[in-house]
Every structure is written in structure tokens, then in C-alpha cells.
């Protein structure tokens, strides 16, 4: 019985945080969609499926899910060298597009919440700012 109150309080806190974050996340995803269309769609395609063995998929990407910081770093600074996504090796380069930290957060929120991807923790500007080269 003593565990019920703390558990209930935690659920209410989490729900309140999620409801507060939801409108902000929706706006971020909307802005991120536009950024994706401008910078990412040529390689990762409209549907996020990428090009096998050339440009990795963002749909159900195990790399994206397991490597949040590395994924943000790749958008912020570009990426060169080998990575493995969903069991397939990719060894191409991704340029840095010179996006601002808020734009990086927005496009990451779009990618991480599209095509069946569902991240519970929103990427924030502060999180992007904390990632250095």
C-alpha cells in the first residue's frame, strides 16, 4: 500500500511532463519536417528508407535509437567513416549543413518521431549545444 502513492505521483508527474512537452514537440516536428525536406530528403528519401548500402535508413534505424548522441553529432558536424545500421555497413560521408542548434533539434525530433519511430524524450536545443566536435 505504501508503494501506491509514490507510484501514482510518478505517473502523474510523467503525464504532466508529457502533456506539457507535447505541443512544443509537435511544433518542433513540424519545423523539422521542413528542414528534412530541404537538406536530408535527397539521401534519406521522402519515406526515410535511405538507399541500401549508400545512405542508411532512418525508418526503424537501430543506430538512431541506440546512438542518440552520435546521431545528433552526425547532423551537427557531419559523418565520415563506417557505421552499421540494421545490420548493413555504410561507409559514406554526410556533410555538415551548417544548421543552427535549434534546427538540428527540430530535424532530429522530426526524424525520431516519423515513419513509425517514436522517441519519448524530445531533443532540446540545450542537448544539441552540449555536443561538441
The model's pLDDT over 37-65, given as tens digits with 9 standing for 90+, comes to 999 999 999 999 999 999 999 999 999 99
Q: What is the mean pLDDT of residues 32-38?
A: 98
> Looking at per-residue confidence, does 119 or 9 come out higher?
119
Give me the CATH number covering residue 59.
1.10.760.10
What is the count of structural domains for the chain? 1
Report the C-alpha gap between 121 and 112 in whole angstroms.
Answer: 10
Instruction: Say how far residue 5 (Cα) sits from the centre of its chain.
Output: 34
pLDDT of residue 74: 98
Name the residue range of residue 70's domain: 4-129
Give the rounded percent of residues in the chain with a pLDDT score beyond 70. 84
CA distance 32 to 28: 6
- pLDDT at residue 120 in the model: 82
For 104-125, the pLDDT digits (tens) are 999 999 999 999 999 889 999 9
List Cβ neighbours of 131 (8 Å cut-off, separation of 6 or more): 69, 72, 73, 76
What's the mean pLDDT in 6-30?
A: 66
Amino acid at each position: 500500500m505504501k508503494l501506491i502513492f509514490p507510484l501514482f505521483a510518478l505517473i502523474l508527474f510523467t503525464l504532466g511532463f508529457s502533456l506539457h512537452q507535447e505541443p512544443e514537440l509537435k511544433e518542433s516536428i513540424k519545423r523539422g519536417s521542413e528542414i528534412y525536406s530541404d537538406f536530408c530528403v535527397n539521401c534519406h528519401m521522402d519515406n526515410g528508407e535511405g538507399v541500401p548500402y549508400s545512405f542508411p535508413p532512418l525508418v526503424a534505424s537501430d543506430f538512431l535509437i541506440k546512438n542518440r548522441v552520435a546521431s545528433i553529432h552526425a547532423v551537427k558536424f557531419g559523418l565520415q567513416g563506417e557505421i552499421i545500421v540494421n545490420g548493413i555497413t555504410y561507409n559514406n560521408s554526410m556533410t555538415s549543413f551548417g544548421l543552427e542548434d535549434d534546427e538540428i533539434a527540430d530535424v532530429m525530433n522530426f526524424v525520431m518521431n516519423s515513419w513509425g519511430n517514436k522517441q519519448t524524450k524530445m531533443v532540446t536545443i540545450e542537448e544539441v549545444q552540449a555536443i561538441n566536435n
